[in-house]
Structures are given as structure tokens and as C-alpha cells.
Chains A and B, each alone.
Chain A
């Protein structure tokens, strides 16, 4: 039951995309999202598809994994498509049966919004597929660190994210262990109505919380023992540096944006 939690869907490889600075990739993703929202016509998606294929190729992530990243969205996609399809407003009726009416605008909207959702998710999941979670938080910390001027706790936030990510697999394993142990005492996690099932979670959650607190305490102690005292004056083993590749990637996304704007202008 807990095995299907796939977190940190990082795909380890050594590609152009993997080697990019995480800050570049985060900014790239933001510009990519903005570009997608600039698309108004279906033709506008042609450069997006081309760009997406190119980046997937460059990242060496298998197509199968990309498709899998959309799978959790299939219900949402279906809803988006069906609702837009039947509730469009406009003059041109394409199909009519009983109370169901498909209009031209509805069909266009359905395609438009579904494609937008698909491209948004696949594009941004490339970020997490090519960037290890720890590197990602590192990049995020550096990106938001200018906000420290207004007392934004950039380092603390990044550290908390790193620790949280680090503990997810540990806690999943722990949860499985406790579940087994309580099952051995006749606990039943899989049957009964909602109320019974919720109650059945108590023997799992209480020990899990206790263990999480215990681990947090241990970790805090271990960090203090190694003289951790916050981000102030802390140096890094891997200093993030922008390189030529980052410039190339940056230019590529700007080209995409420009092409989209041109396509939208001319069509």
C-alpha cells in the first residue's frame, strides 16, 4: 500500500540537462510555464512540443518515465477534457445528441486546456527527473537568498526541505514495519467502514509520530555535535556556478518564448 509512493522521481544519469545548475533549471521551468500560458492557439503548441522533445532527448530520460509522470493526472485530464467539450459556448455546433452538444469552441477549449496541462506537467517534471532533491533545494536556497534582506529564512527553509525529503523513505520503511507488527497483533488496516479504518490507523500513527520525534531529536543532537549553527557563515562543498551550458539553456528557452509570441502574432 505504501510502495506506490514514488517520491524524488529523480532519474540518475549524466546528461547535459543533469549537469545544468539547479538555479538555471528552476528559472527555466518558470519561463517555460509562462511561455505555455502565452499560447492561445493550437498552432502555438507546435514549438512547445518540439522544445519538449528536444529537452527530453537531451536529458536522456526514457519516454516511458515521462508518460508515467502524467498518469496521476489522468482523472483530472479526463474531467478537463469532458467538461470543456460539452460546456463550450458558441455558434458552430459540431455534434448534437439528446442534451449533449459539442460546439466548435468547446472542442477547441477541451484540446487547449488538456494540452496545456500535459505540457505543464511533463515540462516541470523534467526538472525533478534531472535534479536530485538535495541539489534542487540547494538551488532554491540560492535563488531565494536575496530575500534574506527582508528577513526571509532562506537557509532554514532549504534545510527543512532537505531534511523532510531525507526522512520520507525512512518513515515509509518505519510505517511498514509498524504496520506489520500491529498486523501480527490482529490489527486490520484494510477492511471496515471509514470510521473503523480511521480508528485502525491509531496503532500505526502513534508509534510513527513517536519515532519521528525521536529521530528528529537524534538528528538535532547529531547536527549540534557537528557544530551546526544555521546558515550564517556556512561554506559549501559544492559551490553552484553558472557555466556556458547554463547560458545555452537560458537562450534556448528565450528562443522558445520568442517563437511562441511570433506564432501567436502571425496566426
Chain B
């Protein structure tokens, strides 16, 4: 179920004194099963773009197509669309409202009009896929959980609708390293199970770890898309845009600058392997 944006432009407060074009002429194709990372500077239009994917925002011009169907036509069932394209906002833990974790996660499925048993089953499955134990936290109030756990409850709340496409807006922002690692693992797991994922992130290390493709936004325009290799190769260009590069890219660049013959790597593991080989080789020479 591919999702496509065709020449989408969106303007905040059109005609008003504070008119601002948030995204400009963006065309983007999201293929089934990919994990697309959306990167860009603060204010580059990433969140605005994300809200177009499930019809929360309507483009000023251009179209958004799901399975080739324009999602902004009158006859499209917007609610059904939102069950298919799940959107997790930034800091989603601030949307929790129910008395218990179970009820909160069940909010989406209940809105879908599912039977009680089905809602129940989905809540358990969703909790399972984000590593929450139903028996442990299901009956707790979401407000007595830790920040990281609350974030996972919120994520489960969207997952319980079993969306085929999952859009995550800065899922790891403000989490401590351990919670972040857990969450990234959850996302990877979901992706491996076949969910198409669009992830907005500031953390290039997260992106390097997960993404199969990267789209770069700058001042509302889609500057470039490509595989992580292709994108992180453009070290200087990214830095110019005020973006970071993964630690591994930085290190391999620095090493190459110092004359160490090492391939460019954007992930830590392959970089470590390359270094290992190099060091072992060096050790042989010394003998």
C-alpha cells in the first residue's frame, strides 16, 4: 500500500499577516516495507509533511495518494485512513488521558468500532510489541509510569489500530539512552514485521541504525533522497544545512583525513570491523 505525495505545497495562515509556506512542491514516494527517515533542520517542514500523510493537514496544492487514491477527496473516509496510516506525534505521552494503560491503548481500536474481545486482543498485542507486560502495567494509571514507559504506551495506542504505515515524529526526543535504545528496537521490530515506517528524527545515529532510505528537507523543500550510504556520503552538504552526521561517519571521515585508509561507514559495527581488520593488519606488520 504505497503512499505518494505529488507536488504538495502547504501554507500556514494563507492570506494572513503571518503567512508562511511550510512545505513547497514536495513529491515523495513511500514504498511498502521501507523505513524512510525524514531529516532536516528545525522548521524545515518535517512535522507539517508528516501531518499530510494521514490527512490531518490538507495540501494547498498537490495530492497525497494512498494506493493511488487521493486521500483528500470528499468521499474518502478520513477516519478509516487514519487507522491505516498511524501517526505518532512528538511527545505523544502528553496525549494519554484514560484511567488505565489498557483503556488508553484501547482508545483507537474502540473508535474503530471493534468488538470488546478484539480490542482486548489488540491491546495485548500492541503492548507486547513495545515490550510492555500487560499483567504488570495494564491496570496502572498511565500517569504513574516513567517517561519512557509513557512514550511506549502512546506508541502502543497507535499500534493497536494495526496501521499498515506508521509515521513517527521524533520518537526518541527527550528519552534517556536506555529508553531510547528500547524504543529503537521496537521500531526496528515493527519494520521487520512488515510495517512501513516513516520516521522523523534529529538523531542521525538513530537514522543510521534504522533507515533504509533517507529524505532530506530544507526550508520546506525536499532537497534529496537516497540510501543512508548516499546521503551520509555528502558530509559537507549535510553540515552546511546545519545537520549532523552519524558518529561513525564522523569518525571515518576524521580517520581518512588523517590518512588512514578506511572505507566510509555510517554505522558503528561495520566501522569497528574495518578498524579491527586494519589494526590486525598493522599488528602483523609490526611482527
Task: Check A202 for interface membership: any CB of B closer than 8 A.
Answer: yes
- A186/B95 contact (C-beta < 8 A), A180-B89, A181-B89 known: no
State whether A186 touches B111 (Cβ < 8 A): yes
Contacts of A206 on B, CB cut-off 8 Å?
A: 97
- A185/B158 contact (C-beta < 8 A), A178-B94, A203-B107 known: yes
Task: Check B157 for interface membership: any CB of A closer than 8 A.
Answer: yes
- A184/B97 contact (C-beta < 8 A), A203-B107, A210-B143 known: no
Nearest chain B CB to A173's CB is how many angstroms away? Answer: 12
- A181/B79 contact (C-beta < 8 A), A186-B108, A186-B111, A203-B97 known: no
- CB interface residues, B 40-56, toward A, < 8 Å: 51, 54, 56
Contacts of B97 on A, CB cut-off 8 Å?
A: 202-203, 206-207
- A183/B89 contact (C-beta < 8 A), A178-B94, A207-B97 known: no
A84 to B54, CA, bound (A): 53
Among the listed A180, A187, A188, which residue makes an inter-chain contact with B51, where contact means beta carbons less than 8 Å apart? A180
Contacts of A187 on B, CB cut-off 8 Å?
A: 107, 111
- A184/B158 contact (C-beta < 8 A), A177-B89, A207-B96 known: yes
Nearest chain A CB to B47's CB is how many angstroms away? Answer: 10
State whether B86 touches A184 (Cβ < 8 A): yes
A93 to B89, CA, bound (A): 67
Contacts of A177 on B, CB cut-off 8 Å?
A: 89
- CB interface residues, B 50-91, toward A, < 8 Å: 51, 54, 56, 79, 82-83, 86-89
- CB interface residues, A 133-189, toward B, < 8 Å: 177-178, 180-188
Task: Check A211 for interface membership: any CB of B closer than 8 A.
Answer: yes
A186 to B109, CA, bound (A): 8
Instruction: For B90, give the chain A residue with the smallest CB separation.
Output: A177
Nearest chain A CB to B58's CB is how many angstroms away? Answer: 13
Task: Check B92 for interface membership: any CB of A closer than 8 A.
Answer: yes
- CB interface residues, B 154-172, toward A, < 8 Å: 157-158, 161
Contacts of A186 on B, CB cut-off 8 Å?
A: 79, 82-83, 107-108, 111-112, 161
State whether B95 touches A188 (Cβ < 8 A): no
State whether A207 touches B161 (Cβ < 8 A): no
- A184/B82 contact (C-beta < 8 A), A177-B89, A203-B107, A210-B143 known: yes
- CB interface residues, B 121-169, toward A, < 8 Å: 143, 157-158, 161
Instruction: For B157, give the chain A residue with the smallest CB separation.
Output: A185
A180 to B56, CA, bound (A): 7
Instruction: For A209, give the chain B residue with the smallest CB separation.
Output: B97
Contacts of B112 on A, CB cut-off 8 Å?
A: 186
Contacts of A210 on B, CB cut-off 8 Å?
A: 94, 143
Nearest chain A CB to B103's CB is how many angstroms away? Answer: 11
Nearest chain A CB to B88's CB is how many angstroms away? Answer: 8
A178 to B92, CA, bound (A): 9
5 A-B pairs in the complex with CB atoms less than 8 angstroms apart: A181-B87, A181-B92, A184-B87, A185-B161, A210-B143
Question: A residues engaging B (CB < 8 A)?
Answer: 177-178, 180-188, 202-203, 206-207, 210-211
Known pairs A185-B108, A185-B111; list 9 more (Cβ under 8 Å): A178-B95, A180-B89, A183-B82, A184-B56, A184-B82, A185-B82, A185-B107, A186-B82, A211-B94
